[in-house]
A and B are shown apart, each in its own frame.
Chain A
């Protein structure tokens, strides 16, 4: 059976040294959360356009619920549940700041520059500002992983429907 062969290929890799989220578990959770939610959205708003923010809200909610073992997901949930209007949790589209090369500014400003970047990173991570640096760096690792998985899941969902 093909599926069995494919089963053998599955891999579990560690996102963080002390935490191992099987990516499979995450993706499974994620899609099983998101898809029914989207379905519900569809059914509730048959005539009207599905609001993009609503979808984003569901997307983020699914992300947070699928990764509840991580600190950032708690913050994300808080953010999502505290706002009545679904908000974009990531403001990357509005900011769209791409960090430019600052390699020229070495020397005395090195530490300050680094701190600035760490702060930037903290802003990206939900709840990052409330964490200290080391914790944040660890959380960023699994946040990245979950984002990647989320991207794949979303792409396959989108692909599925087009």
Chain B
């Protein structure tokens, strides 16, 4: 584990060691301010002289030598340092450890790139009790978001690890969503929120693309929107047309819910529909529980063609019903495929 340490004090020489993101899970380095040591070592008197002369000799290797490896037990380290040291810890360790609560005083909780690989939105509470230094914001960061299917994320990770050799400054206030800006992009809250919003929108567009038939080849957002609009309109038109038809036939109607489902069920095995939308719908009524059918059984006069008895299941037993309605239903569904 590497640590970045910054010593400060009266005669401080600020030595900063930079972390390398040798680990894909490390995104950012945070700085722990003096407050940490104030929390943990209230009675601390700066014994800087004994420490600081060594500071210039500090390098990564030395840092490593007295740091515990994975568990990054900061209080221990702190004790070792004897110094008014500002420690910025590698976030990867901190976040994943259960000692997170301890380390919150550092306020350097960080997100991992692993999150990007998961289909979850990472919300990090930044518990910043740190004193603010005059530092400028660093553009090096990334947006951790819900859309995980894009390769873009991997690229971001790559760019992040490339940038990790740079200095990371404290940039975030207390926020609930720890969002990183990509390299070279603005980090003000507006653009970050805007970008998050856009990504969410594009994710939904992708989802819609799966939903609307025949959209796989269309790549542009505008084209996709076109398709969606057309599809919704055609569906609505179909519904209107059908309800019109229903209005004309309803005076003579003999409703039999049963038959409706029977037809659905019966036609299911025989359908060979190119439209991916259809098959799930075919199965819709097939799972219709028996008791529900009975309770919903609206019984005027059984349709003479299909139901020969009052037994709801008769249409299944009656193999003829299949063939009788076959062509009708096939037309029905082929029309639906449009």
Contact = CB atoms under 8 A, between A and B. Distances in A.
Pairing of A with B: yes
Interface of A: 1-3, 6-7, 9-11, 13, 15-17, 23-24, 26-28, 31-32, 35-36, 38-39, 41-42, 46, 49-52, 54-56, 59, 88, 90, 92-93, 96-99, 101-103, 110, 113-114, 117-118, 120-121, 124-125, 133-134, 137-138, 140-141, 143-145, 147-162
Contacts of A42: 250-251, 253
A75 B255 CA distance: 29
A50 B239 contact: no
B50 interface: no
Contact of A120 (B220, B229, B255): B229
B284 A23 contact: yes
Contacts of A16: 207
- Select the residue from A13, A26, A93, A156 with max chain B CB neighbours within 10 A: A156
Interface of B: 197, 200-201, 204-205, 207-208, 211-212, 220-223, 225-226, 228-233, 235-240, 242-257, 259-260, 263-265, 268, 277, 280-281, 283-288, 290, 292, 296, 298, 300, 303, 313, 316, 325, 328-329, 332, 336
Contact of A28 (B242, B288, B329): B288
Contact of B260 (A56, A134, A150, A156): A156
A140 B232 contact: yes
A36 B298 contact: yes
Contacts of B263: 156, 159-160
Contacts, number: 222
A10 B246 contact: no
Nearest to B253: A161
B235 A6 contact: no
Nearest to B221: A114
A51 B240 contact: no
Contacts of A110: 222
22 contacts: A3-B265, A3-B316, A7-B286, A24-B285, A27-B284, A28-B292, A52-B243, A55-B243, A55-B244, A121-B225, A134-B200, A140-B232, A141-B211, A151-B238, A152-B264, A155-B242, A156-B260, A156-B332, A159-B332, A160-B260, A161-B246, A161-B254
